Structure 1
Amino acid sequence: MATSVQQKVSSEEWQTRVDLAACYRAVAMYGWDDLIFTHISARVPGPEHHFLINPYGMMFDEVTASSLVKVDLQGNKVMEGEFDINPAGFTIHSAVHEAREDAKCVMHLHTAEGVAVSTLQEGLQAYSQQSLFPLASLSYHAYEGVALDPEEKVRLVRDLGDTHFMILRNHGLLTCADTIADAFLYMFIMQRACEIQLRAQATGQPLIPIHSAILQGIRAQASEVTKQAGGALAWPGIKRRVSRQLPGFDS
Structure 2
Amino acid sequence: MPDGTRDLPIARLRRDLAAAYRLIALEGMDDSIFTHISARLPDGPDGQKRFLLNPYGLRFDEVTAANLVTVDESGAVLDDPHGAGVNAAGFTIHSAVHMARHDAVCVLHTHTVAGVAVSSVREGLLSLNQWSAQFHDRVAFHDYEGIALDLDERARLVADLGARNVMFLRNHGVLVLGRSVAEAVISMMNLERSCRAQIAALGMGLTPVVLPDDVAEHTARQYEHANDRIHESGRNPEWDAMLRRLETAAPGYDA
TM over 0.5: yes
Letter in 2 for 1:62: E
SS in structure 2 opposite 1:167?
Answer: strand
Change beyond 3 A, Cα 1:168–1:80: closer
Residues 152-172 of structure 1, C-alpha deviation per residue, up to 9 Å, x if partnerless? 100110111111111111111
**Partner residue, 1:55:** 55
**Partner residue, 1:68:** 68
Deviation at 1:95, TM superposition (A): 0.5
For residues 36-51 of structure 1, the aligned pairs below 5 Å read 36-46=33-43, 48-51=48-51
126-135 or 181-190, which moves further after superposition? 126-135
SS in structure 1 opposite 2:78?
Answer: coil
How many residue pairs get aligned? The number is 241
**Partner residue, 1:238:** 242
Letter in 1 for 2:36: H
SS in structure 2 opposite 1:205?
Answer: coil
The question of whether the paired residues in 1 share the 8 Å contact of 2:39 and 2:51 is answered with yes
SS in structure 1 opposite 2:56?
Answer: coil
**Partner residue, 1:20:** 17
The unaligned stretches of length 5 or more in structure 2 are 1-7
SS in structure 1 opposite 2:141?
Answer: strand
For residues 1-251 of structure 1, the aligned pairs below 5 Å read 12-46=9-43, 48-81=48-81, 82-217=83-218, 224=225, 227=228, 232-251=236-255
The unaligned stretches of length 5 or more in structure 1 are 1-10
SS in structure 1 opposite 2:132?
Answer: helix
Change beyond 3 A, Cα 1:228–1:129: farther
- TM-score, length-scaled by structure 2: 0.89
Query: How far apart, in 2, do the equivalents of 1:13 and 1:83 lie?
Result: 22
Query: How far apart, in 2, do the equivalents of 1:106 and 1:65 lie?
Result: 17
SS in structure 1 opposite 2:77?
Answer: coil
Higher relative helix content: 1
Residues 126-150 of structure 1, C-alpha deviation per residue, up to 9 Å, x if partnerless? 1011001122521111111000011
Identity %: 43
The question of whether the paired residues in 1 share the 8 Å contact of 2:18 and 2:254 is answered with yes
The question of whether the paired residues in 2 share the 8 Å contact of 1:67 and 1:83 is answered with no
Deviation at 1:45, TM superposition (A): 2.9
Change beyond 3 A, Cα 1:228–1:109: farther
- TM-score, length-scaled by structure 1: 0.90
Change beyond 3 A, Cα 1:151–1:218: farther
Query: How far apart, in 1, do the equivalents of 2:88 and 2:43 lie?
Result: 23
Deviation at 1:221, TM superposition (A): 7.7
Letter in 1 for 2:56: Y
Residues 24-71 of structure 1, C-alpha deviation per residue, up to 9 Å, x if partnerless? 000001110100111000011345420000001000000011111000
Change beyond 3 A, Cα 1:220–1:239: closer
Query: How far apart, in 2, do the equivalents of 1:249 and 1:225 lie?
Result: 29
SS in structure 2 opposite 1:197?
Answer: helix
